[in-house]
Structure 1
Amino acid sequence: MQLRIQTRLFLGFTLLSSILVSSSGYLYFSQTSKDLLDRVEETNMQQLYRYQEALDHIVQDMDRISAQVIYSTDIKNYLIEVNETDSSSFLSFTKRKKYEDLLASFNGPWFIASQINLISLSGFFLTYGKNMSILPDIEQRIEKVHWIKEALQLEGEKLLITPRINEWQENQELFFSLVRSFNFPPALTPAVVEIQQPYELLSETMELGQNKESQAKVFVIDDSGKQFYPNKKENKEQPEIPKLSGKVTEIKGAKSNESDIWIKLRSDYSGLTILIQQPKSVVMEPIIRLQKMTWLLGILGECISLVIAYILSAGIASPIRYLQTRLDKLSLDNMNISTTKKLRNTKEIASLYSTFEDMRTRLNDSLTEVLQAQKRENLAHLQAMYAQMNPHFLFNTLTSMASFAEESGFPEHARISQKLSNMLRYATQSVNNSVSLKQEIRYTIDYLELMQFRYEGQFSYTLLVDSSFDNEPVPKFLLQPLVENSFTHGFQQARPPWEIELSVESNEVNGYWLIRIKDNGSGFSNAAFKETQDLIQELNNGQIRQLDNLSAQGLGHIGIVNTLTRCHLFWNGQVQFTLNNLSRGMEFTISIRREA
C-alpha cells in the first residue's frame, strides 16, 4: 500500500519516539524489577536463617536427650534385664518407676521434650512425659510401626519422623519425633528411644516473625520430600511443593497462569529444608503501580510527540500536496491553459514545479495527437458496424419463414421456426441483466422443444414449477446450459427414450427454494463427477474458481464452472449445490435461501 509523504514522515517520527520511550521504559522496569526481586530474596533468606536456627535448636534439644538415653549404661542394662524378668512382679514395677525417674532427670523439670519413649521389639514400652497413659494393645502397635525398622537401619543415627497422630496414647494430638536405636549386639532384642514434641511447638516456631497480612507461605520438608510443616491434614488446599534446583526458583502455577517465587534453605544438622512461597504478582505490586504511573506519563509524552511530528510532517508535505491538488484538477479541457504558482519552499520542490510545467506542455501535445488517432479509429469502427448483419434481419427472416410454413400447411415447421426466433431474440439481449424465473424457463422450454423436434420422439421432458416463484430473479442462461449437459454427456452412453425432469419447489424446513434437474442418462463419469464435486465443494465453502476468466468465456463457452460460479455471485453466496449420480442418470439441485 502506497502512503503519502506526510504519512510516511509522521509515521517515521512517531516510530522513533515510540522506540525511545518503550526502550527506556523497558530498561528501567527490567532493572527495577531485578533490584526488587534481589531485595525480596535477601529478606526471605534472612527469615529462612531465623527459621533454621529455631528448628535446629528444637532438634538439638531432642537429639541431646536421645543421646543421653542411648548412651546411659543403666538404661541399656534395664532393657536387657526387662526381657528376662517377669514384668508383672513388684520388683519389676519398682524398677520401672526407677527408670521413669531417670528419664525425668534427662528431660529436666521444664519438660524439654513432651514425651520420652523406650521401645523394644519384644513389646516392652516405657514412657515419661506429660501423658503417662498407654493404650492396652501396645505390643501390636509396636509391630505395625514402620519407622522403628528405619531407625534400626541407621545404627544409632538420628531419624526425624514427620508430624502424625500419637500411636501410643489415647489423645489424638499431632506430634513429631526424633528416634535413635541402641547399639545392642545382634543376639539381643533391638530397642529405640523416641523423643516427641507437639506439633504446636513447630507451628509456633514457624509463625514467629510472619506478617499476618503477607501472602507468603512457609513449608518444611525432609530430604525424602515428606512435609513437616504445615500439616497436610490441616489445610487440604496446600500447593504441591516442587523440587527446586537452586535457592531461588520462579514456577508457574499448575491451576493458574500466575507464577510463584520459591526460596529454600536446607539445614545440614537436621536435614530439613525450609521453603518460602510468594506470589510474584504480590512481590511485583510496587513495580506494577509505578509502571501504571510511568505509562500515563509516557502516553502523555507520546501525544506531545505526535503533535510535533504532525506539525513537522505537514510543513514538509504541504507544498507537495498543493502540487497534487493542481494535478487532480488538470483535465483535457484545460491542459493547455492550466498554470501553477511558483513555490520556493525548497530547491527540490522548485525543481519539481519546473519539471511539471515541461511535462504538461509535452502531455498536451501528445494528447492532441492521440485524439486525432482516436477519431480515425472510431471512423473505422463505424464503417465496420455498418458492414455487420443487423440481428433484426434474422428475426424478421425467421418470422417470415414461420408464416410461410404455416400458410403452406407445415404448422410444425412454423412452430420450430418461431421457437428458434424466440431463442435468438432472448440470447441477443444484454447478458449482464437478471431475468425472472418465468422468462428463463420459457427460454429453456423453447430449447427442449427444439431438441424434441430434432430427436423425433426419442426425447421427452417433464416440467413441475411452483407458480409462486415465477417472478423470482435469476441469472440469465441459468437452466439451459445445465439441461444441455444431459444431451452432451448424459445421453451419449444411454439408449432412448431419454427423459429430463425440471422442477421448482419450496423447502419450508430450512427456508430454501429448490431448482432440480434430473435425467435418465448414464450419469457423470468418475472423473467428471469428482471434478464437478470439487467445484461444488469450493463454491459451497465460498471459494470462487477462475473469477478473472468468467467475462472472457462468452455465451458460446458457458459451462458448468461458469454457470455455477455466476449463480454463487448472483445470490451473494446464499446458494448451495448438490450433485448425485442415480442408479440411472443424475440429479442436480440448486438450493437458494429466500430473503426474509
Structure 2
Amino acid sequence: MAVIALLIVVISRTNRNLELYHQQKLLASDAQELLGVFNSMDTLGSQVAANMELLNFFIPLNGDGDMSNYFSTHLMDSIRAGSLLATINSTDSSALRISVFNRSGDYVSTGSLYETDGVVRRTLRDGAALAALDEALSRSESRAAVLAPHADMWSDNRDIRLFTLVRPLSTSYSSKTYGYIAVQRSVDAIYRLPFWAREDGAEYALLDAAGTDVSPAGALLDLGGVASQFPESGEAATLSAKLDGRSVSVFSSGVGETGWTLVRALPTGLLDAPYSLVYTQLVLLGALLLAILLFVVYLLADRISRPLREFSAGIERINLDNLTQSAPLLSGANTEELQALDRTFRSMLLKLNQSIGFEMKAYMAALQSQMNPHFLYNMLSAIIESADEDGSARTVKMCEKLSSMLRYMADYSNDLVLLRDEIANMRDYLDLMKVRYEEHFDYEVEDCRALDQLRIPRMILQPLTENCFQHGFKNARPPWHILVRFSRDGDQWRIEVTDNGGGVTDSEIAKIHEKIDGYLENIAAKYSELRLGGMGLVNTVLRLRLSKPDPVFFEIKAAPGGGTTVVIGGSL
C-alpha cells in the first residue's frame, strides 16, 4: 500500500504540474492577445517613424528655440502632415489619435478626438512629464513605451480614458530623437478583451511597467505582497499565496517587451478538481496491479537468477590471458535476450583486447618518439662549425633551420601550441626551400595578430605548405609562390594556404574527402597509414579534427588564375 500511496502522490504532483502548465499556457495566450493590441499600435507608430516626409518636417524644428507650434502658423504644412498621418491610420483605423510632437512646442495629429490648444501647450511645456517619457523609452528594448490608462493629455475632455504607445521619432541610421510619436486608443480596447469575462473561477489583474495595477473596475484589485515576487518583464512565474483569505495559485506573464504584466489568480482547489475521480480509480487499479506484479515476480525471480549467476561466474573466470575466448558464458537453454547479452559481452571483450593492443602500440610509439635526439643536434652542430670554418654561410643557415625544426618536432611538453610557434616552424621549412630553389621560389605570410591566442596541434601548417611542393609544384614550371593568410570573423578562425602550381581536379578533391571520411569512421584500424610522408594533408586534417571538440572546417579548391587553395578553420 505504501507503493500505491507513493504512486498517488507522484501522479497527483504530475497532474498538478500539468494543470499549472496549462494555466500558464492559458495566461500566455491571454497575454499574447493583449500584446496584439499593443503591436497594432506599435505598427502604426513604426510606419510614422519610417515616413521620411514627416521626418523632414521635424528634423529642422528640433531645438530651434521657438516654443510656438510651427504647424499652427504654417497651414499647408499642417494639412500635409495631418494627411500623412491620416493615410497611415486609414490602413488600420484602430487609433483614436496619432500625434507627433517635440520639445520645441511643435505638434500635429490626426484622429477622431479633438484637441484644446491650451492643454496642448501645457503638455508640451511640462518638462517633468517629457523627462518621464524619455526615461520610459530608455528602459524599453523595443524603443516603444506603453503608458498606463490616463485622461486625454491633449484636450480638456474628461469623459474618456486612453492608453498611449509612445515611440521616438528618429531616422533608421541615427539614434538621435527629433520628437515623439503617440498612438492612442480607448482603454476599452484592453478592458473588453475576452479573458476579463471568462467564467472559470479565475480573476485577472494587469500591471503596467511601473508595477501599478491598471485593471478594470471589478477585477482582482488587491494583490497584497505577491506583486513584489513577480519576475522581470517578459518572464513567466507561478506563485502560491493567500488573497482575501483564500489559498490561490497566482500566474504571471510578461506582455512582450512592454514591461506590463498580466496576472491570473486561480483558487488552489480548482487545480485538483478535474482529477479526484482519477485518483480513486488509480487506487483500485494500483492495488490490482500490485497483486499481479507480486505474483509475476515470484514466478520469474528464480528463472532469472539462475542464468545471471551462471553469467556472473563466467565473468569471474575471465582474465588478461583469456580475453579472446569464443566459448559462450551462458548455455543455449537461456532466453534470446540473455544470449544477446552473452554475444555482446564477448564482442566487448574482443574489442577490449584490441584496445589494449592499440594502447600498448601507442605506449611503444610514444616511448620510441621520446628517445633523446641529442646525437642529431650534436651532428648538426658539428656540421655548422665545419661549414662556418669553410665559409659556407648557406650550409650554416640550412643546418640552423633544420636544427630548429627538429627541436620543435621533438618537444612533447604540450599537445597544443600557439599559432605563432607553428608559423615560426613553417617559416623555417619555407626558408630551407627558399635556400634550395633560390630565385625560383618565394613565399608570403600575412599578419596573424588576430589569432595570437589560437592553439592548434603541432605540425599543422608545415605539412600544408609541404603539400604545395609534393603536389602543387610537381608538374608546374617555376617561379613558384606560396601565400599563407590568417583571418578571424567573430569567434571563427580561418587559415588559407594558396600556391600557383598545377591546380587540383574535382576528382582529386573528391578522393581526398573520401579518404578523410574513411579514416574518421575507423581510425583505429588505419592509424598506421597516417604518416606525414605522402599522407600529410589527410593526416593534418584528421589530427586537427580529433583535437578540437567543435567542428573543424576543411576545404580544398582550385585557386583563381591557377594553383590550389587549402582552407582550414573552426571555433576559437
If the TM-score is normalised by the length of the shorter chain, which range does it land in? 0.3 to 0.5
